[in-house]
Structure formats: structure tokens, C-alpha cells
């Protein structure tokens, strides 16, 4: 149960979807405008961090379980590396994704692949930032218990 | 699809993919982590051998990432030195991973097993990345990745002082990274390029400019910290002695050598030998510092009573041998320095793995308590003795060959300084003998405190095989030095342009 007032809790509940939406926008537009996977991932992660601050660590842990975060942390870099390897498999060199045979112009294919890579980075960075915050917060909670 | 043209990237990407698959697999079954790592690094080892063959027959391999030609795109450039380092790194780290299976189960907490293999694989990826990249900024990024993995692996140890050691390593490591970044930035400001081959051409009109002097000095200090060259070595003994032994073997055997590789790359590829020898005499400054490192490192090692601390200080001395070889900048000297990278990583890897086996079986760390271990763990101690002889440089072990080349290189200089360096190499080897022979003496002839029957009690086979292979390597490559020299000698000649 949160120690913070009902105003903060309600405002947070309203804010979080918009923060996540903005984060997704920054990720999706990464290839064409300022932003990208890293920045967007951090923005999405801040929404979970806000949730943890307002509703407490144990509630936040249930929302983003360790297993889910572990899968996301690994999936991000894996997708990136596999798209790189895909370039080799279709006869080009590593990360040469513009020659991947999709029914589009090369520059559109390139755009799609960069978007996928940005999304992968976003997934990885988001999970990692949340994990880092949880780890530090757990340490803080432990220290607080020791003081009591 | 012809895979043979993709070797430089495959050697990096295969362990990278394995590193990120590791948490997913380890989450289902912890026992699959080790086989996965073994398979990935074995694949890298085979690729490293293929790279070595390709480089010997056809020369430098250049790989353009994403199909973008350098200097715009990132280039992977593999020459003789890179191929030599690739083989060394994959060989020793493969054995360290095989060794880890039994060792980690006992020495580390169970929940640390999955992160251990992930970080170790990332460490290997980073080392391979450093040696194959042909881009200055890429190099900086990968050096950082290497260091981050290394800090975490040191902190993972169950020893009480692990966090302190890792924190000390982190503080100094980050300082070094800042120096490297700043030096790279200065080079980029004046040339507008980061590709090493392109940089070496465009920087030539700037020889004599203060910006270049400062950039080179910053890079040398930065890589000096990563290499643990003498006055900047203070983080090394803590980190290398406190880390789990399999990690100590990789850190001491390989990670600091990649720093030495960066020094060689910067001096002779990014800058011209003519510049670093005559215009700004970095090489002779490095030789003198390295000579001090040899003597001071050995003296520190003599004063240690803890086995792993002694081995760690011995690394400070032997980095001195490698950098001295580089600094001599003569055909024989640099060949000796490069060869010593390989010989020292085998011998030091073997010694740390033996230390790990001793701790695993008996928990002894003090070298005066080792008496009687020659009967208790005969195979381990025989391997330890061979590796120790290789460190000292007693023929027919591999250490003799590289020290012989270093000595020849020092005399080849033909100046009074060359004679001093030759003397330092002899004296350094003598001091090395003092502290290694002391251990060997204690092990076989030391007075036992308890007069009880000692039963033969070896470490498990999974730990023993890597130790024996490394000790065997010390002997085989001492008797057939032509094999590593096939890469080391052309590497030195190409770098120096002679």
C-alpha cells in the first residue's frame, strides 16, 4: 500500500499510459526523427519507475516480473544480432539489411529493418533500466529495514 | 553464401549470440549454460584458426560492416597481429570455460552461475572485438564493454573484499577510459576520420602539432591503465587475486594483453613507426617504464605470501616484458613482445588455474602451507612447475623463446640503453625465478607441519584437463616455436614496416 496521497496515485494512474505512448512514439520514429530505441526505452522505463515510487516496489515487481524482464533483456540484443546475421544469410555482409528480399524498394526495406532494430533496442533498454532501478531500490529497502 | 569471407564478424557474433541466449537457457536449466558457452567459444576457436590460415596465405582481411566502405562505414581489419591475438584469446578462454564447470559449482553461489557465463562470454566477445576492429571509436566502445564485464566478474567473487577490489578497478578503469576517449576525440578533431588506416594517412601532415602529441600521450596513459603498466598497475593485484580463479586466468592471461594490443595498434598502425621512434620518442619512454615495471613487479611478487597475490604481481612484471618488446621497436624485440603475449597467457593461465585447483581442493592460499602438495596433487603441481619454468624462461619451455627474442632485440638496438635492457631482462628473469622456484621448492621439498599420510587427491578431470593442456602448450610451443612465430614474426615486421 502506498504512503502517498490519493491525488498522487490517481494522477500517476492517468499519467502512465501517456508516458508509455510517448515512449513508443519515440521508439517507432527513431529512424526518421530525433529519438530512437535507447531514448524511447528509457521513457517507457520511467513510467514503471514512477509506478514503483508511487505504489511500492512489491506491486511494481508484480507488473514487470523478473522472468519477463530477463526475456526482454536477452531478446533485445538477440534480435539486433539476428538481423545482422540475416544480412549474411541472404548473401550480403553483416547488417547489410537493405538487400533482404522483401517486396519493397531497398530504402523501404532498410527503413523497416532499422525500425525493428530500434524496437529491439527499446525492449532491451527498457527492461534493463527497470531492472537497474529495482536492484537499487531493493538495496535501499533492505537498508531501511536494517535501520528499523 | 560463402561463409569464409565472413570470418572476422562470425568470430565475434557467435559468442555474442550465445551470451544473450545464455540467460534464456539458464532460466530453464542451469546446467546447460556451460555446454552452450563451450560450443560457442569452440566455434570461435575454429574460426580463429581459419582466420590465421587465411591471413598467412592471403594477407590482411578487410570486412565492411553493412556494406559501407571505409572510411564511412565501420571496417573490421584482421592482419597477422589480430589473427595471432584471436587464436590466443579463443584458446585460453575456451580452456577457462571448460575449467569453470566444476570450479563455479563449488566456489560461487548457485544463482550467480547464469550471470557468470553471460559475463564471461561478453568478456570474450569484447576481447575478440578489440582485436578485429579497424575503427578507433569502435575500439573505445569495445574497451569499455570489456572493462564493464570485467568489473562485474571481479565483484562476483565470494571473497569479502570483492566489492572493494571491483570498485578500485572500476575507478581506475573509468579514468583510463576517459583518457582514451579524449585522445580519440583529439585525433578526430584534426583529421575528421576514425578509421585506423585512413587516420594513419591523414594524420601525417599534423606530425609536429601539439594536438597529436597530446592525443598520443592521452591514449598511452589510457591504454596503460587498461594494461596495468607499472605506475598505473595499482588496481591489478586486488582485482586479479580476488576474482574467481578461472576469471583471474582470463583477466591476467588475456584482458591485460588486449590493452597491450591497443598500445601496439596505436603506436604502429595509427601512428607511423618513424613518428613514435624519432619525432616523439614514445617507444623509448615505454621501454624505460617497462624496464622499471619488470624489476618492481618482480620485487613486489617476491614479498607476497599469498599465492594469487604473487601471481598477480608477476603479471605486472610480465606486462613489462611485453611492453619492453614493443618499445624496443626492433624486428626481434617486437617479435619477442608479441610472442610473449601468447606464451605468458598460456603460462599465467595455467598457474591461475592451478591456484584455483589448489584452493578448490584444500583452500590453501599461503605459499608456505603448500608443503606436501606434490604428493597430494601430483598432476596439478607438475603442470604448475612447467608453467613456472616457462615464466622464468628455462629452456625448453615457451617462455625461453620469447625472452631470448627480447634479449636479441635489446642487443639489436646497439646502444648503451639496449645493453641496459638486456641486463634488465636477465635480472627480471632471475627475480622471477626467485619467487616461482620458492613455491616449487615448498611444494616438493617443504617441511610438512603434520607428519600424516598424504593421500593422492586431485581436482576433478574437468579442471585437470585444461591445466594439463596449457602446461603441455608451454612445452610444445617451446620445442616447436615455429608455430606461433609463423604469425608473430610477420606481424612485427609488418607493423614496423621492415
Cβ neighbors of B434 (< 8 A, separation 6 or more) are B298, B302
For chain A, percent of residues with pLDDT exceeding 70: 97
Locate the chain A residue with the closest alpha carbon to B115: A70
CB contact under 8 A, A78 and B20: yes
> Which comes out higher in pLDDT, residue B111 or B349?
B349
Nearest Cβ partner for B65 among A67, A71, A94? A94
Contact B197, B75 (CB under 8 A): yes
pLDDT, tens digit, 9 for 90 and up, residues B99-158? 988 888 888 888 888 889 999 999 999 999 999 998 999 999 999 999 999 999 999 888
Q: Which three cell numbers stand for residue B483?
A: 608455430
The single-letter DSSP state of residue B252 is: I
Locate the chain B residue with the closest alpha carbon to A77: B20
Asked if pLDDT for residue B454 goes beyond 70, the answer is no
| Radius of gyration for the alpha carbons in chain B, expressed in angstroms and rounded | 21
Segment B368-379 mean pLDDT: 81
Helix (H) or strand (E) holding B64: strand B61-64
Contact A112, A20 (CB under 8 A): no
Contact A106, A99 (CB under 8 A): yes
Using alpha carbons, select from B273, B203, B261 the residue that is nearest to residue B498.
B273
CA distance B21 to chain A (A): 7
Quote the pLDDT of residue B449: 64
Quote the pLDDT of residue A148: 65
Number of domains in chain A: 1
Kindly give the residue spans of alpha helices, DSSP state H, lying in B393-481. Answer: 398-413, 416-445, 461-479
Asked if pLDDT for residue A13 goes beyond 80, the answer is yes
pLDDT, tens digit, 9 for 90 and up, residues B393-410? 888 889 899 999 999 999
CA-to-CA separations, A71 to A116, A118, B31, B448, in angstroms, rounded? 17, 17, 18, 54
Kindly give the residue spans of alpha helices, DSSP state H, lying in B230-306. Answer: 235-242, 245-250, 256-265, 273-274, 282-302
Locate the chain A residue with the closest alpha carbon to B21: A74
Contact B293, B341 (CB under 8 A): no
Asked if pLDDT for residue B1 goes beyond 60, the answer is no
First and final C-alpha spacing in chain A: 19
Using alpha carbons, select from A86, A38, A72, A116 the residue that is nearest to residue B23.
A72
pLDDT, tens digit, 9 for 90 and up, residues B474-486? 999 989 988 888 8
B chain contacts of residue A139, beta-carbon cutoff 8 Å: none
Report pTM: 0.93
Whole-number Å distance between alpha carbons of B94 and A127: 30
CA-to-CA separations, B119 to B91, B102, B151, in angstroms, rounded? 18, 18, 10
Kindly give the residue spans of alpha helices, DSSP state H, lying in B133-255. Answer: 136-155, 162-191, 196-202, 210-227, 235-242, 245-250
| Parent domain of A120 | 6-147
CA-to-CA separations, B446 to A123, B430, B435, B437, B465, in angstroms, rounded? 59, 21, 14, 12, 27
Question: What number is the ipTM of this complex?
Answer: 0.89
* pLDDT tier at B66, thresholds 50, 70, 90: confident
Quote the pLDDT of residue B208: 83
Nearest Cβ partner for A93 among B23, B27, B64? B64
Mutation target to probe the A interface, by most A beta carbons within 10 A, among B27, B67, B125 is B67
- How do the domains of chain B map onto residue ranges? 281-498
Contact B323, B337 (CB under 8 A): yes
Contact B221, B233 (CB under 8 A): no
Quote the pLDDT of residue B106: 83
Asked if pLDDT for residue B252 goes beyond 80, the answer is yes
Quote the pLDDT of residue B59: 84
Residue A58 lies in a domain: yes
Locate the chain B residue with the closest alpha carbon to A91: B1
Q: Which of A47-51, A91-95, B119-123, B416-420 has the lowest mean pLDDT?
A: A91-95
Quote the pLDDT of residue B450: 60
Residue A1 lies in a domain: no
A chain contacts of residue B65, beta-carbon cutoff 8 Å: 93-95
For residue A148, give the 3-state DSSP assignment: coil
φ/ψ of B452, rounded to 5, equals -115, 165
Q: Which three cell numbers stand for residue A91?
A: 548473401
The single-letter DSSP state of residue A92 is: S
Mutation target to probe the B interface, by most B beta carbons within 10 A, among A72, A74, A117 is A74
For chain B, percent of residues with pLDDT exceeding 90: 47
* pLDDT tier at B452, thresholds 50, 70, 90: low
Using alpha carbons, select from B148, B114, B495 the residue that is nearest to residue B327.
B495
Quote the pLDDT of residue A110: 86
Segment B404-422 mean pLDDT: 89
CA distance B20 to chain A (A): 5
Q: Which of B275-289, B375-389, B446-460 has the lowest mean pLDDT?
A: B446-460
Residues of A with CB under 8 A from a CB of B: 67, 70-71, 73-74, 77-78, 81-82, 84-85, 87-99
Residue A15 lies in a domain: yes
- Cell match 571496417: residue? B75
Whole-number Å distance between alpha carbons of B160 and B171: 19
pLDDT, tens digit, 9 for 90 and up, residues A74-109? 999 999 999 888 888 888 888 888 888 888 888 888
Q: Which three cell numbers stand for residue A139?
A: 538495496
* pLDDT tier at B453, thresholds 50, 70, 90: low
Quote the pLDDT of residue A29: 85
10 Å Cβ neighbour count for A18? Answer: 10
Residue A48 lies in a domain: yes
Q: Are strands B75-78 and B61-64 parallel, antiparallel or unpaired?
A: antiparallel
Amino acid at each position: 500500500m502506498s504512503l502517498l496521497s490519493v491525488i498522487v496515485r490517481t494522477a500517476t494512474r492517468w499519467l502512465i499510459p501517456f508516458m508509455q505512448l510517448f515512449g513508443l512514439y519515440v521508439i517507432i520514429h527513431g529512424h526518421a526523427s530525433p529519438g530512437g530505441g535507447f531514448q524511447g526505452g528509457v521513457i517507457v522505463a520511467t513510467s514503471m519507475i514512477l509506478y514503483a515510487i508511487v505504489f511500492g516496489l512489491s506491486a511494481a515487481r508484480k507488473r514487470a516480473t523478473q522472468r519477463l524482464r530477463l526475456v526482454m533483456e536477452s531478446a533485445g540484443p538477440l534480435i539486433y544480432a539476428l538481423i545482422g546475421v540475416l544480412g549474411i544469410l541472404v548473401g550480403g555482409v553483416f547488417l547489410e539489411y537493405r538487400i533482404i528480399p522483401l517486396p519493397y524498394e531497398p530504402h523501404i526495406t532498410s527503413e523497416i529493418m532499422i525500425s525493428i532494430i530500434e524496437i529491439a533496442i527499446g525492449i532491451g533498454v527498457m527492461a534493463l533500466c527497470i531492472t537497474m532501478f529495482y536492484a537499487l531500490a531493493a538495496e535501499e529497502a533492505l537498508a531501511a529495514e536494517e535501520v528499523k | 553464401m560463402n561463409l569464409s569471407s565472413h570470418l572476422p564478424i562470425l568470430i565475434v557474433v557467435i559468442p555474442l549470440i550465445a551470451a544473450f541466449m545464455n540467460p534464456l537457457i539458464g532460466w530453464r536449466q542451469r546446467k546447460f549454460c556451460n555446454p552452450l558457452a563451450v560450443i560457442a567459444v569452440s566455434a570461435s576457436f575454429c574460426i580463429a584458426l581459419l582466420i590465421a590460415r587465411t591471413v598467412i596465405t592471403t594477407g590482411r582481411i578487410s570486412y565492411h560492416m553493412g556494406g559501407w566502405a571505409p572510411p564511412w562505414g565501420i571496417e573490421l581489419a584482421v592482419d597477422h597481429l589480430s589473427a595471432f591475438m584471436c587464436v590466443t584469446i579463443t584458446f585460453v578462454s575456451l580452456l577457462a570455460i571448460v575449467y569453470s564447470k566444476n570450479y563455479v559449482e563449488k566456489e560461487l553461489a548457485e544463482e550467480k552461475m547464469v550471470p557468470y557465463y553471460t559475463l564471461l562470454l561478453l568478456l570474450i566477445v569484447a576481447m575478440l572485438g578489440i582485436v578485429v576492429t579497424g575503427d578507433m571509436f569502435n575500439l573505445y566502445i569495445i574497451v569499455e564493454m570489456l572493462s564493464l564485464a570485467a568489473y562485474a566478474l571481479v565483484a562476483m567473487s565470494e571473497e569479502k573484499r570483492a566489492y572493494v577490489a571491483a570498485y578500485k578497478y572500476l575507478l581506475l578503469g573509468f579514468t583510463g577510459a576517459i583518457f582514451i576517449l579524449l585522445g580519440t576525440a583529439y585525433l578526430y578533431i584534426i583529421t575528421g576520420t576514425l578509421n585506423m588506416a585512413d587516420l594513419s594517412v591523414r594524420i601525417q601532415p599534423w606530425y609536429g602539432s601539439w594536438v597529436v602529441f597530446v592525443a598520443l600521450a592521452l591514449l598511452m596513459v589510457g591504454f596503460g591503465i587498461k594494461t596495468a603498466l607499472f605506475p598505473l598497475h595499482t588496481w591489478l593485484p586486488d582485482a586479479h587475486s580476488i576474482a574467481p580463479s578461472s576469471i583471474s586466468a582470463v583477466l591476467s592471461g588475456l584482458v591485460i594483453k588486449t590493452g597491450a594490443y591497443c598500445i601496439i595498434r596505436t603506436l604502429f598502425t595509427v601512428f607511423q613507426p618513424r613518428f613514435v621512434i624519432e619525432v616523439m620518442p614514445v617507444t623509448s619512454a615505454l621501454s624505460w617504464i617497462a624496464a622499471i615495471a619488470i624489476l618492481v613487479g618482480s620485487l613486489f611478487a617476491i614479498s607476497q605470501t599469498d599465492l594469487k597475490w604473487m601471481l598477480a604481481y608477476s603479471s605486472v612484471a610480465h606486462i613489462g616484458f611485453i611492453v619492453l618488446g614493443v618499445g624496443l621497436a626492433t624486428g626481434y624485440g617486437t617479435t619477442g613482445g608479441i610472442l610473449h603475449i601468447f606464451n605468458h597467457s598460456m603460462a599465467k593461465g595455467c598457474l591461475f588455474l592451478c591456484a584455483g585447483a589448489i584452493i578448490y581442493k584444500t583452500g590453501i592460499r599461503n605459499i608456505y602451507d603448500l608443503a606436501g602438495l606434490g604428493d597430494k596433487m601430483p598432476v596439478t603441481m607438475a603442470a604448475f612447475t612447467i608453467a613456472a619454468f616457462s615464466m622464468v624462461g628455462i629452456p625448453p619451455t615457451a617462455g625461453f623463446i620469447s625472452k631470448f627474442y627480447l634479449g636479441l632485440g635489446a642487443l639489436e638496438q646497439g646502444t648503451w640503453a639496449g645493453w641496459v635492457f638486456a641486463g634488465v631482462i636477465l635480472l627480471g628473469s632471475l627475480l622471477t625465478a626467485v619467487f616461482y622456484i620458492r613455491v616449487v621448492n615448498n611444494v616438493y621439498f617443504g617441511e610438512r607441519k603434520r607428519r600424516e599420510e598424504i593421500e593422492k587427491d586431485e581436482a576433478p578431470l574437468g579442471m585437470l584437463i585444461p591445466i594439463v593442456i596449457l602446461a603441455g602448450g608451454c612445452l610444445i610451443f617451446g620445442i616447436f616455436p615455429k608455430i606461433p612465430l609463423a604469425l608473430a614474426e610477420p606481424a612485427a615486421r609488418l607493423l614496423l614496416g621492415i
